[in-house]
Amino acid sequence: MREVYIERHLEKEVKKASRFYPVVLVCGQRQVGKSTMLYKIKEKSRNYVTFDDNAIRKLAKKDPDLFFETYKAPLIIDEFQRVPSILITLKKIIDNKKLKGKKTNGLYWLTGSQKFKMMKNVSESLAGRIAILEMSSLSSREISKKSSLVFDGDIKKLKINYNPNKDYVDISKLYKKIFTGGLPKIVSTKINRNNYYMDYINTYLERDIKELSQVGHLDTFYDFLVYIAARTSNELKYDEISKNLGISAPTAKQWVSILERTGAIFILKPYSNNITKRLVKTPKIYFMDTGLVAYLCGWDSPKTLQNGAMSGEIFETYVISEIVKGYLNNRAKMDLYYYRDIDKKEIDLLIVKNGSITPIEIKKNKNPDDATKNFDVLNKFKMNVKKGSIICMSEEFIPYDRKADLCPVSSIL
């Protein structure tokens, strides 16, 4: 079954980083296309090796110097996190080349199924020598071959390129996108969806989870995975996870950390400052691939997902994940938060930038009611509160009130 390659927005960032750093690391969830992308854009002279190969992995562990003598730069090392100790030797090689006045930038491309900053004992190994890029599953804009987008709350940029007659996606087509998700194999082949996800999760449990932590009961971890998927776009409450799954709160925290570390979820932190103590401190959790959520929760078609109990949550998850993907694909700084206080007043997304704050509401309806009712709470922060947006199923950009405009979800896809 031949997989059609879809050009990734991160390609240009890899090439750009290679001009300035000796090592470029692309990390992210399993099977999002990290090694495929690097292999696609590599020069003919660049070699490739993977630590999924037992013999190669043993050599790298036992004799890293011989490993690098055998597999010379420029080099791609796939799944490097399986032998993180090579970074020490890598640092030595790079520093020796620099002392001799030799070129070092772009010599090594690494891929990893874990976030580098969350890996134990390796985050300082290549300080100043490594560019870290996070890759997610395909964004909607990659699938539709549109340019990459960083949504900073300014809808003027979206308006310029949005044509409602050409770009508008109706609700049924949107939920088909949500149901499909962005894993390349699902998007670009006719593979059996259920079989693929079953194999995907088994591989995730048997390899990533076992390597990351001593999870005693993988069946319980699978139940945890389903439980978290069913609560995407909700507050992350460890005591509830503990109570419902019969695991300790520290175990729940450790397992959530595993999901974050392997790129399966995005944790949106609540906004807070020193002005008020009435804000909640509980983060919200979002899965990075809605197709995976639909599978884990047992939704068997776009229609049942659209009409089901999770319809609103999955819509919000899709929007947040698409916005996050845009930031990741451009290596842009993410100052994204949400608002909630003890009076249960909530704003779905806050974009904080240069002393200003832009409120965003995410609603499934075309013209939602009372969408800006909580925006006034932001005035207490003594910041410049910009005109906000309601990302919804509107077909066009329309003023909602003096606080916000309706923003078609189609314009960010």
Contact 288, 324 (CB under 8 A): yes
In angstroms, what is the C-alpha Rg of the chain? 22
Q: Which residue has the tokens 């011989």?
A: 66
| Nearest 10 degrees: Cα torsion 318, 322, 328, 330 | 180
Single out the residue of 95, 114, 2 nearest to residue 51, CA to CA: 114
Q: Output the pLDDT for position 382.
A: 85
The CATH number corresponding to 11-135 among 3.40.50.150, 3.40.50.300, 1.10.10.10, 3.40.50.620 equals 3.40.50.300
Q: Output the pLDDT for position 367.
A: 87
Distances in Å between the alpha carbon of 193 and those of 94, 196, 202, 293, 314? 44, 5, 14, 13, 19
Q: Output the pLDDT for position 272.
A: 82
Q: Which residue has the tokens 């048997």?
A: 206
Question: What are the phi and psi torsion angles at 387 (to 5°)?
Answer: -60, 130
Distances in Å between the alpha carbon of 67 and those of 57, 70, 146, 369? 9, 5, 41, 63
Per-residue pLDDT of the chain (413 residues; tens, 9 = 90+): 677 899 999 999 999 999 999 999 999 998 999 999 999 999 999 999 999 999 999 999 999 999 999 999 999 999 998 998 999 999 999 999 998 888 999 999 999 988 876 565 565 678 889 999 999 999 999 999 999 989 999 898 899 989 999 999 999 999 999 999 999 999 999 999 999 999 999 888 777 776 666 556 778 889 999 999 999 999 999 999 999 999 999 989 988 998 998 899 999 999 987 656 667 789 999 999 999 999 999 999 999 999 999 999 999 999 999 999 999 999 999 999 999 988 889 999 999 998 899 999 999 999 899 999 999 999 988 889 999 999 999 999 999 999 999 999 999 99
CA distance linking residue 186 with residue 86, whole number of Å = 33
Say whether 47 sits in a helix, a strand or coil.
Answer: strand
Contact 203, 285 (CB under 8 A): no
> What are the structural domain ranges in the chain?
11-135, 140-412
Single out the residue of 360, 183, 366, 403 nearest to residue 268, CA to CA: 360
CA distance linking residue 331 with residue 194, whole number of Å = 33
